Each structure stands twice: as structure tokens, then as C-alpha cells.
Amino acid sequence: MHNPATVGVGLLGLGVVGSAVAESILRRERDPGSSPRLSFRGAVVRDASRPRSVTLPGGILSTDPGSVLDNPDVQVVVEVMGGVNPAFDYISTALRAGKHVVTANKEVLAKRGDELLSLSMETGSHLYYEASVGGGIPILNTLADDLAGNEIRSIRAIINGTTNYILSKMGSEGADFNDVLAEAQQLGYAEADPTADVDAFDATYKISILARLAFRTSSSPDSIYREGIRQVAAKDFSYARELGYTIKLLAVARRSNGGLLLRVHPALVPVDVPIAKVNGPMNMVEVEGDLVGPLWLQGAGAGAKPTASAVMGDVLRVAREISGGGRSATQQSSPAGLSLTPMSEHSCEFYMRLTAADRPGVLAKVAGVLGDADISIRSVLQMDVDEKAGTADLVIMTHPAREANMQQAAARIRNLDVVVALDNLIRVEGYPSVP
């Protein structure tokens, strides 16, 4: 059996993050002054013959999940496999066995987190998941502990490093989306299949987790408005810059009309606010509380070491609690919380880029459609002119308008005989300090 002075840890998964966690555990084992003391008891992998970046003691590696889940010497199970299956079953089994669980798995928490949190409360086993959002940024424990006295009003976040890298490069170099995506894949920022990142599934999972903790409101990923970055073009950055904005993929949770509005989409952001200055693969979470006001947490949102940092922070937190007892605020289950406000009720300014016929009367027709939808125009720019095709880029900025009205107007504008294409429609993220 385990030594009461040590805490036995078992890993499910030994990829880049798992290997970094294993290295950290082994380093603490070798340090006689470390506290609390950890003991590495097992690691479960799919293929034991695969080369690893970490050298493990004999008898640690196994393809049998029971070597960790059924091992009485393992008190803390670290799940870094990813995906919903079999991770959900493994985490559930560990909790039912009285083991504490630390996970970095955003997908399982977004899709089945309510079940896991309820099971954690039922069994008295801890479930920690700091590494599931923001990599090395300590956002979850900050929300649960340091900001526990606040009513959180809103969260705005850049929580996908891949898309932020792509958009940053497009903005700074005027490069096309496909070219920057290929570069991001070569550098290892983007997967061979980039769907989870560029189509905003990853960010959607993460804002679901943040909303559960900050607003105590459950939201399945399917209930969150999601729009990726594939339609953003280099010229959108050029035009946005002339208007005083840049473009970011934002994940937003905000109290709205007595409920909670959750949305993930590209947005024009004023260039002089902190989140606009977050470039490359970095992440930032902006939180506004009723007492603390706005604050920003920024750091590496992905990668083996930042994620392992968050995992190890949770492991050590659990190890201390095993010795001292008690449960922290992150162990609260999620009640019904706020109702979800539909995206159709969102209101903001809009940026609209059209390819239109370069002749008189075009703006009047477009303005007429917008006026019929109760949308007023703030400014108009006529940009690149293609004399051969007889077209021009028309950039329209609106005053605040309801999402439902804008979508109806956009459908009509696409059918106007003077409009070749409605190339992009991007929401403008409002900041009170910016006129």
C-alpha cells in the first residue's frame, strides 16, 4: 500500500503533455525536500512500444487501464488522453473508486462535465481541470477562488493559440489564410486536420467550461453560437486597420437580458484595448467582476510545458488536500444557473464588406435594405476598384443592430442585382471606453 507521507499518481496518456507531467513527477521524486511528496505509480498508453521522450522506471508503462484505475497505490489519476471516449469512462471509474482526478481534457468537460462534477460531489473525490482552458494561464482557479466574492459580468477571451497565430500573421504580413495555415501546420501550431481550431470547436469547448464555473450555468457546445475564421481575408485586416480595429477570434460569455449569451466568432476589436495586442500563439482571458472590475490574464495557452504546469498545479493542490482535508470552490457542482440567451438577441455594430457594381445607386439600394431592417449606417468606405470587372469593394460600418435584423438584411443584400458578393460580415466587439 502507499506510504501515507506520499501521494501515488497514475497517468492515462503519455503524449507530449503526459511526458512533460511524467518528467515533473519524477523530478519531484528525486528531490528529498519536495512537499507534498509524489510517487509515480503507473502510466497507461495505447502502444507501449512507441518511443517516448521521457525515460520511465521499470514496471511503470502499461496498456492496461486497470494498472492505474484498479491500483490501490494510486490516489490521483491524471487524464491527458483527450477526446470523450474512453476518457469519460476512465474518469468515472476513477472517481467511483475514490481516486481523485486531474484532467486537461476540454472536450469531455464541455460535453459531459456536468455528469463528472455530479459524480465528484457524490463520491467525495476531487475533480480538477485547470489545464483544460488557457494552458498555463491560471484562469479556472482564479475564477473559483480569488474571484469567488464577485458576480462575474462577462468573460472575453482569446483561448485558441492556433487561430490567434494565424490571424496575427495575416494582420501583420497581409498574408492569405491558406498560406498562414500551412505555415502554422509546419511549425506545429496547427494539426494536420485544423478543423477543431479554425472552425472554433476548441474555443467553444473552453468557453463552455468557463461559463459553467464563472456563471454556474451549464451549456452544451451545441448550444453556443460558433463561427470560425475561414472567411477572414487579408484585405479585412487592411480595411479594419483604417477604421481603428484589428480582428481576433473571441470567445465571449456575457450576462444579457437576464440570461447568459455565449458566442465564439471573429470580431473587430479596437486596437487600443489590451486583448487587441495579444499576438502569436498567446492567449488572454478578460474577466469583469462587479467588485474587481476588468482584469486580464495572459500567457501561453497551449504547448506541453504550459499545460503540464497547470496539470501539476492541480496535482499538488489535490495532494495537499489529501493531507489537510476539505474541498475547494472548484468542486462545486453546476446548478441550473442562468438561462441561455439566443444569439438572435445579440446587439452590436457590424462590419460588412461587399463586392459591388462600381456605378451610381449601389449604396442607396444597400442602405434601403438596411433601413428596412432598422439598421443605420455609421460609415462607408469605397476601397479597391477593379476597373476591368467594373466592381469595387464597399465597406460599411453600422450602428448597433440586433443580430436577427442584420442576418435578415444580409440575406436580402446578397440578392441585390448590384451586389456581386457579400464577402464578409464581422461583428464589432464593443468597449465602453472606446467611442
Catalytic site includes residue 206: yes
Q: Which of 341, 345, 340 is nearest to 402 (CA)?
A: 345
How far is residue 184's CA from residue 421's CA, in Å, rounded to a whole number?
29
In the numeric block, which cell numbers belong to residue 50?
A: 512507441
Q: What is the 3-state secondary structure (H, E, C) of the chain?
A: CCCCCEEEEEEECCCHHHHHHHHHHHHHHHCCCCCCEEEEEEEECCCCCCCCCCCCCCCCEECCCHHHHCCCCCCEEEECCCCCCCHHHHHHHHHHCCCEEEECCHHHHHHHHHHHHHHHHHHCCCEECHHHCCCCCCHHHHHHHHCCCCCEEEEEEECCHHHHHHHHHHHHHCCCHHHHHHHHHHHCCCCCCCHHHHCCHHHHHHHHHHHHHHCCCCCCHHHCEECCCCCCCHHHHHHHHHCCEEEEEEEEEEEECCEEEEEEEEEEEECCCHHHHCCCCEEEEEEEECCCEEEEEEEECCCHHHHHHHHHHHHHHHHHHHHHCCCCHHHCCCCCCCCECCHHHCEEEEEEEEEEECCCCHHHHHHHHHHHCCCCEEEEEEEEEECCCCEEEEEEEECCEEHHHHHHHHHHHHCCCCEEEEEEEEEECCCCCCC
Catalytic one of 106, 169, 206, 248: 206
In the numeric block, which cell numbers belong to residue 256?
A: 444579457
- Any idea which residues carry the catalytic annotation? 206
